[in-house]
Amino acid sequence: EREIIFEKEQNEILTLLFLSVDWERKGGDIAFNTLKQLFASGIHARLIVCGCTPPPQYAHPAMEVVPFLNKNEAKDFDRFVQILSTSHFLLLPTRADCTPLVNCECNAYGMPAITTCVGGVPEMVIDGVNGYCLTMQAGPQDYAALISKIFLDKEHFHRLIESSRKRFEEELNWDKFAENLNKVIKKHKLYTSAQNN
């Protein structure tokens, strides 16, 4: 399964994934205008919007909208895996967030997250390891500049794929969460309190 993370390097078109059910709060406008900025700077790119339908004014020939995928259905699950394994970056310029699990899900496929330094996001996404967090003031030109710089440096991008997957394996998965939670419970002897109730 791990080999699948490098499939995206065979995709010559810079492919961005906006994976969210909330277009406005997750920064869909910035993602859309990042696509336009990339085209304006001469980079052929593609934006896949998965999980929601943007308002009608957001239309571009290089934008594909996948409103909903049911991962319990084999056909939809296969399509989801195909999107995750061939997209280069998760682009989630979120305006407000706690700890979006899509960062972890994308990292599992070696996809770095390009996102915002807000809420708990910087705890999940470490600059240069499994993506980058930009400031709330960053605009489409900032996102486009960072994405194109990484994408055009093939060695840097390859290392980022590897380190994104490694961060998922070592920290951002449910097994590791359960292990860490168990340590906290034991350290603070919380199991004793529960047994006494």
pLDDT digits (tens, 9 = 90+) for 110-145: 999 999 999 999 999 999 999 999 999 999 999 999
Please determine, for residue 177, whether its predicted confidence score (pLDDT) is greater than 80: no
Provide the token pair at 83.
């999107």
Q: Tokens 């571009």: give the residue.
A: 60
Range of the domain at 26: 2-196
Provide the token pair at 132.
């980058």
Closest of 127, 131, 87 to residue 109, by C-alpha: 87
Tell me the β-bridge partners of 92.
115
Provide the token pair at 40.
């304006």
Q: CA–CA separation, 34 vs 25, rounded Å?
A: 16
What is the domain count for the chain?
1
> Are the beta carbons of 64 and 35 closer than 8 angstroms?
no
> Are the beta carbons of 4 and 80 closer than 8 angstroms?
no
Phi, psi (rounded to 5 degrees) for 92? -135, 80
Any idea what the CATH number is for the domain that residue 122 is in? 3.40.50.2000
pLDDT digits (tens, 9 = 90+) for 46-83: 999 999 999 999 999 999 999 999 999 999 999 999 99
Question: What are the distances in angstroms from CA 186 to CA 2, 66, 104, 171, 193?
Answer: 33, 44, 26, 19, 11
Q: Cα 145 vs. chain centroid, distance in angstroms?
A: 17
